[in-house]
Amino acid sequence: MKHIVITAGGTVEKIDEVRQITNTSTGKLARLICKEVLDYLGDEDFTVHYIMSKRAVKPEVVQSKMMIYPVSDTQSVIDAIDKVYSQHKIDYFIHSMAVSDFTTSYTAPVSILAKEISNLIQDNPVEELEEKIQEILTSPYCALPRGAKISSREDIVLGLKRTPKVISYIKDRDPETFLVGFKLLNGVSEERLKEVACKLGKDNDCNLVLANDMCNINNEKHEAILLKDGCIVERFHTKDEIAKGIVMRMLGENK
């Protein structure tokens, strides 16, 4: 039995109970890829594990060969991947989700943070100040309690710390998983896009990388290049083409 994981949509990182950092990703491409996988494998014995953010568009049909894993923030995506890998041998992993690079580490009012930093100056030798200031900006004492709704009386500073790179986990869990990575940039040359996408592929041992630029995506078209071992193997112009192309290459060549 084949097991395919597809991740869809964009993660949501909480700032407080009502505010959050979201990603503009809609999950539409993942939905199309899912449909292509279902069509391609047809009556075969397989399961699609669909890890989707709550805001992503829902798959067209949810049938018995699909399992849905709703997720919210980056940690919940990692937890879902852990769950899937602990229960199944995963053959294919299409990681089209836009996972947040950052999560909220603190919020602090500007004036109180300025006071905390200026107090530091009296107590520390000049040569250590830069490092000490960096520590405060990373994790200040004056941070507001987590979960409290932020007051709007003052300008605030929001500290964002990097999240773990989800894509780097996949091959660690199973080097035999066929991994499709995605790279989205904004307003770069194709050369630059290819370079960054190749690095993603190399660093994470991707079998394929789909690279695209926000400037070349709108309601009508979705330009993208597909990379394998650092070379462009296909060019696409619509989401449909991308979905078909990835699935054909992934399942067609790797039965």
Positions in the binding site for its own copies (CB under 8 A): 15, 17-25, 98, 100-102, 105, 110-111, 113-115, 117-118, 121-122, 126, 129-131, 133-134, 137-138, 149-150, 152, 154-162, 184-186, 214
Shortest CB 224 distance to its own copies, Å: 16
Shortest CB 2 distance to its own copies, Å: 32
43/155 with CB nearer its own copies: 155
Burial of 88 (0-12, 13-18, 19+ CB in 10 A): middle
87/124 with CB nearer its own copies: 124
Q: Give the position of tokens 């039965």.
A: 255
Cα 195 to chain center, whole Å? Answer: 19
User: Edge-to-edge strands of the sheet including 46-53?
Assistant: 66-71, 46-53, 2-8, 92-95, 178-185, 208-213, 224-228, 231-236
Q: If residue 121 lies in a helix (H) or strand (E), which one and from where to where?
A: helix 110-123
76 Cβ neighbours under 8 A, 6+ residues apart: 11
- Report CA dihedral (61, 90, 54, 212) to the nearest 10 degrees: -90
Shortest CB 255 distance to its own copies, Å: 35
16/240 with CB nearer its own copies: 16
Shortest CB 251 distance to its own copies, Å: 29
Shortest CB 125 distance to its own copies, Å: 12
Shortest CB 95 distance to its own copies, Å: 16
- Report CA dihedral (242, 13, 88, 57) to the nearest 10 degrees: -40
140/245 with CB nearer its own copies: 140
CB 138 within 8 A of CB 105: yes
Distances (CA, A) of 75 to 165, 229, 249: 10, 30, 30
52/66 with CB nearer its own copies: 52
19/235 with CB nearer its own copies: 19
Shortest CB 24 distance to its own copies, Å: 5
125/175 with CB nearer its own copies: 125
Burial of 118 (0-12, 13-18, 19+ CB in 10 A): exposed
